């Protein structure tokens, strides 16, 4: 599974994003603990923040020892390394300060028996500052090894590859896709680690709030798998057309195959987690079997995502390679799927499934949103809430069939003007629908009552987002 | 009941037609749509049966 680091550079790559993306997710749990006033969750969050502070030591040491191997690479300048070092040292010092504050409050609350609101808010505020500094540190770090981020769109030679696109030959795929992929891929990966940690803690401590928050994060990780996969497919084109030195198509295909399994794993984990969140509303308690199913899916997906990340790192980090790169680009599943799906016998049936899927999604969303807006007030909100799994099934159908259609002609889709907004709307719409299952005030809306104002705003965003997804898809050939 | 029988007959006729005239795209589209939508209906039925039980208990 390649999670045991084989060099200082490898260690640095494995752990350095925890105080950035990991901290972001921990702050989500931390905010939940303050809002719900859940002491168990507060304790776990403070402990995790201390842990992140302790992690700053191996991050710093591994970073120092990574300088020599990475400097040997062409294009890596002293300025790039110094910029990353300066931001990182500042960010790590603030992180250590936050960890001290969190640790002090943890021990004080343990002694006194209650938390101080001021101390909790101080830790939150300092953590947000740390997050901003970590963003600068992360960006400057990526620029050291990812030279392609500095390239503008490069005119590509006529590649000779089959394409149904109307885009003229000679137009390359923007490097912005590589940039997005480098950022996004850390969210489902680190999110899954954090979610699993809190989920296991929630199971052990029998803390329903912690379990619920973890299920929300599992669902979000599932949703984020979609743009991560799409930006990955786009990055492939950005890095290989025109071909770049030291970028191997075979290594990319090895990474793509694993990414496909990871997408399925994230979908399984996310859907199971959401269905349990949905069912919790009606039953008032979790099902032990369902929770253990989510745990099993999560652990399997963690293994898949770790291997995916390792293979991804091999593509553009020569300093961590310890074995030769694969050489046969055709020896993988993804090119075979690309070839097969271009046959109309495969493409049309899956495209039809895609159409059924968005009918299910939009029909469900429309019905729920109209109730929130005030139509059919004779129904309590809990009645329309029962429709939501139908929409989730539609999303699963469309992610699967959409992924197949993307593989049929990736270049065309990723260079279309309406496809990127469609991907962004899927994330917004998917996350917004979570609100309908989480909001207590909306759940309490009985027959004859108006939904709360906040719910109406979320409903509006949801409706616009999913309408945007449909329009974005339909307009691909025309815009 | 009669609606299910009529629907079943129409779908079967469409499938047979697709095979008979070599319209395999039509055949596989109907098969895939049937399989997927049956799966969706089954899952929704199982989920809602559990909720119905808790509503009446």
DSSP per-residue letters across A16-63: TTIIIIIHHHHHHHHHHHHHHT-HHHHHHHHHHHHHHHHHHHHHHHHH
Please name the residue ranges forming H helices in B1-57.
Answer: 2-20, 24-56
Interchain proximity A386–B51, CB inside 8 Å: yes
Reduce the DSSP state of residue A417 to 3 states and report it.
Answer: coil
Q: Is the ipTM of this complex over 0.95?
A: no
Interchain proximity B43–A283, CB inside 8 Å: no
Whole-number Å distance between alpha carbons of A364 and A279 = 17
Please name the residue ranges forming H helices in A342-452.
Answer: 344-373, 381-385, 388-408, 410-414, 419-438, 440-443
The C-alpha angle A30, A32, A35, rounded to 5 degrees, equals 115
Interchain proximity A349–B31, CB inside 8 Å: yes
The pLDDT, as a whole number, for residue B55 is: 64
Q: Which residues of A72-99 are buried (b: 16+ CB within 10 A; e: fewer)?
A: eeeebeeebbebbbebbeebbebbbebb
- Which whole number is the average pLDDT over A245-262? 90
Whole-number Å distance between alpha carbons of A312 and A254 = 8
Whole-number Å distance between alpha carbons of A145 and A181 = 15
pLDDT in tens, A178-210: 888 999 999 999 999 999 999 999 999 999 999
Mean pLDDT of the residues in chain B: 87
pLDDT in tens, A116-134: 999 999 999 999 999 999 9
Reduce the DSSP state of residue A477 to 3 states and report it.
Answer: coil
Give me the residue from A283, A349, A386 closest to B29, CB to CB: A349
* CB < 8 Å to A275, chain B: 47
Chain B residue closest to A287 (CA)?
B50
Chain B residue closest to A394 (CA)?
B40
Q: What tokens were used for A316?
A: 């553009």
**Chain B nearest C-alpha distance from A361 (Å):** 12
User: A453-461 long-range CB contacts below 8 Å, 24 or more apart?
Assistant: A455/A372, A456/A372, A456/A373, A458/A372, A458/A432, A459/A368, A459/A369, A459/A372, A459/A373, A460/A369, A461/A428, A461/A432
Chain B contact probe: residue of A282, A284, A437 with most B CBs at under 10 A: A282
Give me the residue from A275, A348, A360 closest to B29, CB to CB: A348
Over 90: is that where the pLDDT of A415 sits?
no
Interchain proximity A283–B47, CB inside 8 Å: no
Query: A161-170, A353-362, A393-402, B24-33 — which is least confidently predicted?
Result: A161-170
Over 50: is that where the pLDDT of A457 sits?
yes
Whole-number Å distance between alpha carbons of B35 and A344 = 19
Chain A residue closest to B48 (CA)?
A386
Which residue in A356, A348, A360 sits closest to A466, CA to CA?
A: A360
For chain B, give the number of residues: 57
Which residue in A366, A470, A359, A404 sits closest to B37, CA to CA?
A: A359
* CB < 8 Å to B38, chain A: none
Over 80: is that where the pLDDT of A319 sits?
no
Q: How confident is the model at residue A414 (pLDDT cuts 50, 70, 90)?
A: confident
The pLDDT, as a whole number, for residue A74 is: 78
- Is the separation of the CB atoms in A105 and A123 below 8 Å? yes
**Chain B nearest C-alpha distance from A298 (Å):** 21
Over 70: is that where the pLDDT of A158 sits?
no
The pLDDT, as a whole number, for residue A155 is: 44
Chain A residue closest to B34 (CA)?
A353
Q: How confident is the model at residue A152 (pLDDT cuts 50, 70, 90)?
A: low
Interchain proximity A279–B47, CB inside 8 Å: yes
Burial of A160 (0-12, 13-18, 19+ CB in 10 A): exposed
Q: Does B17 touch chain A (CB under 8 A)?
A: no
The pLDDT, as a whole number, for residue A164 is: 40
- Provide the number of CB pairs (under 8 Å) joining chain A to chain B: 49
């Amino acid at each position: 599974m390649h999670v045991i680091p084989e060099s200082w550079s490898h260690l640095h790559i494995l752990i350095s994003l925890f105080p950035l993306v990991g901290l972001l997710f921990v702050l989500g749990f931390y905010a939940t603990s303050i809002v719900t006033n859940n002491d168990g969750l507060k304790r776990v969050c403070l402990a995790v923040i201390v842990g992140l502070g302790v992690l700053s030591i191996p991050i710093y040491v591994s970073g120092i020892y990574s300088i020599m191997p990475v400097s040997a690479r062409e294009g890596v300048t002293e300025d790039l390394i110094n910029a990353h070092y300066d931001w990182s040292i500042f960010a790590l010092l603030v992180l250590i300060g936050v960890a001290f504050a969190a640790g002090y409050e943890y021990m004080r609350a343990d002694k006194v028996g209650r938390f101080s609101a001021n101390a909790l808010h101080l830790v939150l505020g300092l953590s947000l500052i740390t997050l901003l500094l970590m963003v600068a540190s992360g960006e400057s770090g990526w620029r050291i090894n990812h030279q392609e981020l500095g390239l503008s769109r490069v005119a590509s030679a006529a590649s000779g590859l089959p394409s149904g696109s109307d885009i003229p030959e000679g137009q390359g795929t923007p490097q912005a896709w590589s940039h997005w992929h480098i950022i996004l891929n850390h969210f489902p990966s680190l999110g899954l680690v954090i979610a699993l940690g809190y989920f296991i803690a929630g199971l052990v401590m029998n803390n329903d709030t912690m379990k619920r928050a973890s299920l929300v994060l599992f669902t979000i990780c599932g949703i984020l798998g979609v743009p991560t996969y799409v930006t990955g497919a786009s990055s492939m084109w950005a890095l290989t057309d025109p071909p770049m030195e030291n970028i191997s198509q075979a290594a990319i295909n090895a990474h793509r195959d694993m990414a496909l399994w990871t997408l399925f794993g994230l979908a399984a984990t996310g859907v199971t987690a959401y269905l349990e969140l949905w069912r919790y509303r009606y039953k008032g308690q979790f099902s032990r079997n369902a929770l253990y199913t989510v745990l099993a899916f999560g652990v399997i997906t963690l293994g898949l995502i770790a291997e995916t990340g390792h293979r991804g790192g091999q593509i553009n980090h020569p300093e961590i390679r310890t074995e030769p790169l694969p050489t046969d680009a055709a020896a993988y599943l993804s090119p075979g799927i690309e070839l097969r799906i271009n046959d109309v016998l495969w493409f049309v049936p899956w495209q039809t499934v895609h159409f059924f899927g968005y009918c299910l999604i939009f029909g469900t969303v429309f019905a729920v949103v109209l109730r929130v807006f005030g139509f059919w007030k004779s129904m309590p909100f809990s009645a329309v809430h029962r429709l939501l799994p139908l929409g989730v099934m539609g999303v699963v159908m469309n992610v699967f069939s959409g992924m197949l259609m993307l593989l049929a002609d990736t270049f065309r889709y990723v260079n279309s003007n309406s496809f990127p907004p469609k991907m962004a709307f899927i994330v917004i719409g998917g996350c917004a629908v979570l609100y309908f299952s989480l909001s207590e005030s909306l759940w309490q809306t009985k027959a004859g009552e108006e939904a709360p104002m906040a719910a109406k705003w979320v409903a509006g965003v949801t409706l616009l987002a999913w309408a945007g997804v449909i329009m974005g898809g339909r307009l691909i050939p025309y815009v | 009941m009669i609606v299910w029988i009529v629907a079943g007959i129409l779908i079967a006729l469409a499938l047979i037609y697709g095979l008979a005239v070599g319209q395999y795209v039509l055949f596989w589209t109907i098969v895939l749509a049937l399989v997927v939508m049956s799966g969706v209906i089954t899952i929704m039925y199982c989920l809602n049966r559990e909720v119905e039980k808790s509503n009446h208990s």
